Amino acid sequence: MTGIPGVGKTTVLNELQDLAKQNRVGLTVMNFGTIMNEILRELGKQMNRDEMREQDIETQRKVQELAANEISNRAGQGTIVVDTHMFVKTAVGMWAGIPQNVLQRLSPRLLVLVEADPEQIAGRRRSDTGRKREASLDEEIRFDLEWSRATAAASAVATGAPVKVIRNDAGKQKQAAQELFEVIRKVVGV
């Protein structure tokens, strides 16, 4: 499950977990960034999640791979949904959140892109004062949405997994979660 910062993927995932509970479907959400943050802490590097993408790329690459291994090891029974990014904006450029080695480790059966209108994403970023968000020009957000789609297309070719685009329109997070839940049920067969 991917989406650019502020698109509302965590909000939709919270709704999804409620739906899974109500329907007695085993579903666990793992946040890739949280696991990377835990690994960095174990390596003696304490930082907030928004500082991780500012680390040198080799450090991020190493921690990214360790996180993929950790997720794969933690995965038990039931459906695992990984909350992550198609790409991360680093100091040296757009860097894949799910490069080939991570894709192989996670072996996703479904790739999800959460999208919303650029103006709404900009507004959500502005209102989310607890986080250090990216610049919020509509034009940049539009570019990021396109880059996400391009990266998802490449991941779809590499894995053979379908890509589902979920719209998270204003006030429609429950509908977005419902749509996602139905697609997951079809893909996983629960």
Give least dist CB 4 to ligand AP5, A. Answer: 7
Q: What is the DSSP letter of 79?
A: E
The DSSP symbol for 94 reads E
What torsion, rounded to 10 degrees, do the Cα atoms 71, 46, 63, 85 define? 70
- For ligand AP5, the binding residues in 89-118 under the rule CB under 6 A are 97-98
CB 161 within 8 A of CB 136: no
Q: Which stretch binds ligand AP5 (CB under 6 A): 69-77, 82-90, 143-151, 159-167?
A: 82-90
Per-residue binding string, ligand AP5, 25-64, x by CB under 6 A, is: ------xxx--x------------x--xx------x---x
Place of tokens 């607890």: 130
Question: What x-and-dash track marks residues 126-145 binding ligand AP5 by CB under 6 A?
Answer: -xx--x--------------
Nearest Cα residue to 115 out of 175, 169, 152: 169
Indicate the residue among 169 and 182 with the shorter CB distance to ligand AP5.
Answer: 169
Q: How far, in Å, CA of 33 to CA of 35, rounded?
A: 5
Smallest distance, ligand AP5 to C-beta of residue 189, A: 26
Contact flag: residue 18 with ligand AP5 (CB under 6 A) = no
Binder of ligand AP5 out of 44, 93, 160, 171 (CB under 6 A): 171
Angle of helix 173-188 relative to helix 9-22, nearest 10 degrees, comes to 60
- Residue 148 makes contact with ligand AP5 by CB under 6 A: no
Q: Where are the beta strands (DSSP E) in 74-176?
A: 79-83, 87-90, 93-96, 111-115, 163-167
Say if residues 18 and 30 touch (Cβ distance below 8 Å): no
The binding site for ligand AP5 (CB under 6 A) comprises 3, 5-11, 31-33, 36, 49, 52-53, 60, 64, 83-85, 88, 97-98, 124, 127-128, 131, 168, 170-173
